[in-house]
Structure 1
Amino acid sequence: MKDETIHDRIARRVRDLRAARGISLEALATQCGVSRSMLSLIERGESSPTAVVLEKLSGGLGVPLASLFDPPEPAASPVLRAADQVAWRDPHSGYVRRNVSPVAPGNPAQIVDVSFPPHARVTYESGPRPSLVHQYVWMLEGTMEITHGDDVHTLHAGDCLAMGLDRPNSFHNPADTPARYAVVLTTDH
């Protein structure tokens, strides 16, 4: 069996989540605003979707974006070793995200480590979801400008921003140096 790539993992997660919800490709395409052909490519692992496309898809599936990177089986151990943490690079902005928390039934939170290139920007069209996702952005290095709806927040190392994923939001690194931050996600059930 070949090693699973991050695109294979995303493909499997999208297929599994869609099947669990009993919705067709057409229905999901309508629900999330991503074309049926793009969804088909993603589900076959033949596309390198951008963060914006994956955010739309996660919204349509009613899960946090981080859930699209989960392994197919819950963790057998409460420890997820650094060597087993899969990294994904957004083909548009170049930002890199890595899920660092083990996936286990009943875990109330997910933790993601993000490295954001200088001057890069990603804008998400987040809207209402079946359950409100709470996101905490804790700056570890550098500076980020984060827009949540109409509110703009400039964060520096050590700062932490709490926000719900219920409005459009944008992440921008205005500096000449990379930024790094941790994201903690929790969901109201």
Structure 2
Amino acid sequence: MDINARIAARVSSLRKERDLSLDALAHKSDVSRSMISLIERGQSNATAVVLEKLAAGLGVTLASLFEESAANGGPLIRRSAQLEWRDPQSGYIRRNVSPPNAQSPMQIVDVTFPAGATVAYESVERDRSVHQQIWILDGKIDITVGAETYSLEPGDCLAFRLDRPTAFHNPHRKPARYMVAITTDALRP
């Protein structure tokens, strides 16, 4: 199954598991009903920004949308099984490194962010707090969390909650590569 078909199946499966209609998910995610329908049918290559909104509306992390719906959740995933996805808007490439549905509160994602690219995520109310740490492996990148901008270089690590608008920008001539560690808190009452 290619990555866009996997995303389509996963969004549809998560929406049905949560007993959400297309209209209800559209309301929760601020993504149009027609766009959600196109994504679920595999007829749209959604951007990272749209997928992040859907993930928040479904109560999962963005990384969760790239997992197989019926994954067994074993403790190992080989490099050859870690699918890559390219954001059609910015060209950034992400690869889920963590085994899908593993019994772990953490997800790890490997990202290659092109020179000159920008991605800006809005803040959306979530059922769970999502925490991220960005560890720069190669290149440089600027990350804005709320009103604060951080210029990161190899070896730097930035920790923050996904509760404010967040933007990634690479104003440099070389791609940046970084790892993202993601955890979520328990369900809010």
What TM-score results when the alignment is normalised by the length of structure 2? 0.95
Q: Give the 3-state SS of the residue equivalent to 2:160 in structure 1.
A: strand
Query: Where does residue 102 of structure 1 map in the other structure?
Result: 99
Equivalent-residue separation in structure 1 for 2:89 and 2:183 (angstroms): 26
What per-residue deviation string (whole Å, max 9, x for no partner) do you get for residues 76-96 of structure 1? 542211110010000000000
Matches within 5 A, 1:26-45: 26-45=23-42
Identity of aligned residues (%): 56
Q: Contact 2:75/2:102 (CA < 8 Å) preserved in 1?
A: no
CA–CA distance in structure 2, aligned partners of residues 76 and 118 of structure 1: 35
Cα pair distance change 1:22/1:50, threshold 3 Å: same
Task: Give the conservation status (yes or no) of the 8 Å contact 1:55–1:126.
Answer: no
1:74 aligns with 2:74: no
State the TM-score, normalizing by the size of structure 1.
0.95
Question: Aligned match of 2:83 in 81, 86, 90?
Answer: 86
**Partner residue, 1:54:** 51
**Distance (Å, rounded) in 1 between the aligned partners of 2:16 and 2:118:** 33
User: Contact between 1:33 and 1:56, CA under 8 Å: does it hold in 2?
Assistant: yes
Alignment of 1:129-140 (within 5 A): 129-140=126-137
Q: CA deviation at 1:106?
A: 2.8
CA distance in 2: counterparts of 1:7 and 1:54, whole angstroms: 11
Q: Judge conservation of contact 1:13–1:68 (CA < 8 Å) in 2.
A: yes
Tell me how far apart the structure 1 counterparts of residues 43 and 50 of structure 2 sit (CA, whole Å).
14
Please say if residues 110 and 178 of structure 2, whose CA atoms lie closer than 8 Å, have aligned partners that are also in contact. Answer: yes
CA separation in 1, counterparts of 2:73 and 2:108? Answer: 18
Residues paired across the two proteins, number: 186
**Alignment match of 1:186 (pick from 134, 158, 183):** 183
Displacement after TM superposition at 1:103 (Å): 1.9
The residue identity in structure 1 corresponding to 2:68 is P
Q: Answer yes or no: is 1:152 the counterpart of 2:144.
A: no
Asked if the contact 2:53–2:124 (Cα under 8 Å) also holds between the matched residues in 1, the reply is no
CA deviation profile, 1:120-160 (whole Å, cap 9, x unmatched): 00000023211000000000001010000011111100000
Long gaps (5+) in structure 2: none
Q: Which runs of 5+ in 1 are unaligned?
A: none
* 2:7 is the counterpart of 1:10: yes
Supply the distance in 2 between the matched residues of 1:61 and 1:118 (Cα, whole angstroms): 31
What is the CA RMSD across the aligned residues, in angstroms?
1.0
